[in-house]
Structure 1
Amino acid sequence: MDLFDDLPEPTQTSGPVSAQDTEEEEGEENRLKRKREDAESHSDKRLEEVEEEVEEEEERVEMKKVCKEGLPVLKGYVAARRGEREEMQDAHVLLPDMSSCLAALPGNVSRVSYFAVFDGHGGARASRFAAEHLHHTLAKKFPGGDVENVDKLIKKCLLDTFRQTDEDFLKKASSQKPAWKDGSTATCMLVVDDMVYVANLGDSRAVLCRMEAAADGQKRAVTLALSKEHNPTIYEERMRIQRAGGTVRDGRVLGVLEVSRSIGDGQYKRCGVISTPDLRRCQLTANDRFIILACDGLFKVFSADEAVKFVLSVLQEGAVEQRSELTEEELRFDAACQQLASEAVRRGCADNVTVILVSTDF
């Protein structure tokens, strides 16, 4: 059995390599050349050792070149609305390049990106804690160096990171007087080169817009779910809660909590509420336009398909007001993100609304 719930297999595509990547590769090649030349002035044994080292490093450089080709350019946009709530309890993180947070990358990985949305309940402390700490814990646990079976290691890394983040928050919450009772959903997207890994708890969601050819030759948008909702009305979730001694009333744990998995919620952990995320994996292709990560405030008034179509309609609108720091395409995506969140409030969502829109461009 595979480690992840996979989405449809994509076709392989290739794309240009950026000037920065080319400069880095040329610098690496020059360094290896100098290393070889320096060794030639030493003994035959030393030359032999250096040549072996250089050959190994050249192989790694070539692997890096191969995996850099065709990587999508990811750009994140965010919109947050308080709605009718007294407090904004959502939190979010956008790290299009989190390589600087990592001690080392696996040998065949060029880039790691991270985007996350957290929907707090009972207060904003759990969501803020997760936004501040989860990606740092992830960075510490992320595999590095020459490793095999990166998929398996990333799965373990994500599971360990969610468990650790939950434990760390609960420890802090229980030390307060009175103890904090906050909890939070979490939908985190990790993009390793062109592979997307989504780990989620609760009812915040991630959806991908992929353009596919229709029978008439035109392209149509297909919405792919990248996450799985966790609420107590789902059979497997309800059974786990009941086996732990909890009850489900009015679609809520003990008649109170709307989600069956979360970070925090210490008082419900004994009732079967867990912090183990669902994991999904999907390879990005040139046919992919964008990914939406959003809390349930959006999806209370939008279906996933409606949200995707709304974004596409804004992207296809006429002229946009120019701002010197953004390209026309960036302005369109930013407008689509802002308008989607505002429309959710206009449609009557009283909850906090946070939307992250990630464009994918090959």
Structure 2
Amino acid sequence: MDLFDDLPEPTQPPVAAQQKSTRKKEEEEKDEEEEKSRKRKREDAESHADEEREEEEEEEKEEIKKVCREGLPVLRGYVAARRGEREEMQDAHVTLPDMSSCVSALPCQASCVSYFAVFDGHGGARASRFAAENLHHNLGKKFPSGETENLDKLIKKCLLDTFRQTDEDFLKKASSQKPVWKDGSTATCLLVVDDMVYVANLGDSRAVMCRMDAAGGGAADGQRKALTLALSKEHNPTIYEERMRIQRAGGTVRDGRVLGVLEVSRSIGDGQYKRCGVISTPDLRRCQLTANDRFIILACDGLFKVFSADEAVKFVLSVLQEGSVEQRSGLTEEEVRFEAACQQLASEAVRRGCADNVTVILVSIGY
């Protein structure tokens, strides 16, 4: 028999028990720290994977934009302005083939935005100059950005808001002057988002486009026929809907003019006629560009007093198709031709007897 079989188990001294408890606690803390470390590593790995996925998605979006951009039309604007027999040049214009600097952020589905506009002032040059200086900036501030479901609808609303804002700002400035400014201006603005054209128009300036017949028919010599497309609608008091609005507002139309004075029924400015039904709400039209489109003409009524839309298009085409051109440093042959066509069109309007200011913007469309 073992001498110690009947003896109770010896109890541990207090110090030894405390040391064991401390070691156990340290081991538990160590295990907990290791678990936290493993968790952090997993989270870091997941976060890194998310970042890589986001980078890949951004790169994919950029690639898509590059592909879209390569297939989009390239627009260039050429301007010609003539004072005619007027004492003052009351027209103004803006050409921005790349309007991105005025827009804080483009919509996700848009790659580029262009803007061209002509303003025909009356009663002075202040309204036309104000519109030329401010309208595109107001447009840039209100332009839709980010993810958008109905870009077309948003752009149309943006244009309407922009015209209203520009008119209100000018009228506020005009009414604060002594004497009050009575200037007014037409406005024909061409906004191109990728390959979609939006035209916003007030008054009697116009926008027309030359589209070549895709089928190549209609010409005896087999050449492609040029089609003239109206991109804007004129507003003058002789049009039934315009006259009715003016009369409902308490105004009258005499000799084809509002109160026998104002030739247009919609404009920026003209504060004294706003109570008579003259409004700043533009007519909006939309058109998608195609590879058959050659150019767009934006011009004040000074041009169209002596040219029909068809005649203006044919005149430009005749200059573009001339045999020889004078080479100019820094310009391609096509750019020289368009520049010449624009200048010659404005000069021909004056030669035909137009005494009014003449401003022409010729926008070339290339692919």
- 1:153-168 paired onto structure 2 within 5 Å: 153-168=154-169
| Residue 215 (structure 1) shift | 5.0
| Residue 361 (structure 1) shift | 0.6
Match 1:228 to one of 203, 224, 233: 233
The answer to whether the aligner puts 1:238 opposite 2:243 as a matched pair is: yes
Secondary structure of residue in 1 paired with 2:225: strand
The answer to whether the aligner puts 1:43 opposite 2:29 as a matched pair is: no
Q: Which moved more, 1:197-206 or 1:46-55?
A: 46-55
* Contact map agreement 1:60 1:107 (CA 8 A) in 2: no
Q: Which residue of 1 aligns with 2:203?
A: 202
Q: Which residue of 2 aligns with 1:269?
A: 274
Q: Which moved more, 1:269-278 or 1:216-225?
A: 216-225
| Residue 59 (structure 1) shift | 4.4
| Residue 52 (structure 1) shift | 4.0
| Residue 256 (structure 1) shift | 0.2
Q: Which residue of 2 aligns with 1:54?
A: 55
Aligned equivalents of 1:211, 1:135: Cα separation in 2: 30
The answer to whether the aligner puts 1:335 opposite 2:346 as a matched pair is: no
Q: Which residue of 1 aligns with 2:292?
A: 287
Q: Which residue of 1 aligns with 2:99?
A: 98
Q: Which residue of 1 aligns with 2:259?
A: 254
Q: Which residue of 1 aligns with 2:35?
A: none
* Contact map agreement 2:218 2:225 (CA 8 A) in 1: no
Going from structure 1 to structure 2, the CA distance change for 1:356 and 1:134 (only over 3 Å counts) comes to: same
Listed one character per residue, the Cα deviations across residues 127-179 of structure 1 (whole Å, up to 9, x for unaligned) are 00000000000000001112121101100100000000000000000000000
% identical equivalent positions: 85
* Contact map agreement 1:80 1:355 (CA 8 A) in 2: yes
Q: Which residue of 2 aligns with 1:6?
A: none
| Residue 102 (structure 1) shift | 1.0
The answer to whether the aligner puts 1:141 opposite 2:147 as a matched pair is: no
Listed one character per residue, the Cα deviations across residues 59-102 of structure 1 (whole Å, up to 9, x for unaligned) are 42243134213111111100000000000000000000011111
- The one-letter code of the counterpart of 1:361 is G
Aligned equivalents of 2:146, 2:236: Cα separation in 1: 39
Aligned equivalents of 2:276, 2:60: Cα separation in 1: 52
* Contact map agreement 1:92 1:131 (CA 8 A) in 2: yes
TM-score normalized by the length of structure 2: 0.86
- The one-letter code of the counterpart of 2:94 is V
Secondary structure of residue in 2 paired with 1:219: coil
- The one-letter code of the counterpart of 2:223 is Q
Aligned equivalents of 1:345, 1:218: Cα separation in 2: 31
Aligned equivalents of 1:278, 1:257: Cα separation in 2: 19
Q: Which residue of 2 aligns with 1:36?
A: none
Aligned equivalents of 1:60, 1:232: Cα separation in 2: 49
- Rg larger for: 2
Going from structure 1 to structure 2, the CA distance change for 1:254 and 1:220 (only over 3 Å counts) comes to: same
- The one-letter code of the counterpart of 1:75 is R
Going from structure 1 to structure 2, the CA distance change for 1:57 and 1:282 (only over 3 Å counts) comes to: same
Q: Which moved more, 1:111-120 or 1:327-336?
A: 327-336
Q: Which runs of 5+ in 2 are unaligned?
A: 1-40
Listed one character per residue, the Cα deviations across residues 242-300 of structure 1 (whole Å, up to 9, x for unaligned) are 00000000000000000000000000000000000001111111111100000000000
Secondary structure of residue in 2 paired with 1:43: helix
* Contact map agreement 1:198 1:280 (CA 8 A) in 2: yes
TM-score normalized by the length of structure 1: 0.87
Q: Considering only aligned residues, what root-mean-square deviation do their CA atoms show, in Å? A: 1.5
Aligned equivalents of 1:62, 1:329: Cα separation in 2: 30
Going from structure 1 to structure 2, the CA distance change for 1:41 and 1:318 (only over 3 Å counts) comes to: farther
| Residue 214 (structure 1) shift | 1.0
- The one-letter code of the counterpart of 2:336 is L
Q: Which residue of 2 aligns with 1:214?
A: 217
Q: Which residue of 2 aligns with 1:9?
A: none
- The one-letter code of the counterpart of 1:318 is G
Aligned equivalents of 2:242, 2:193: Cα separation in 1: 30
Q: Which residue of 1 aligns with 2:189?
A: 188
Q: Which moved more, 1:254-263 or 1:143-152?
A: 143-152
Aligned equivalents of 1:88, 1:311: Cα separation in 2: 24
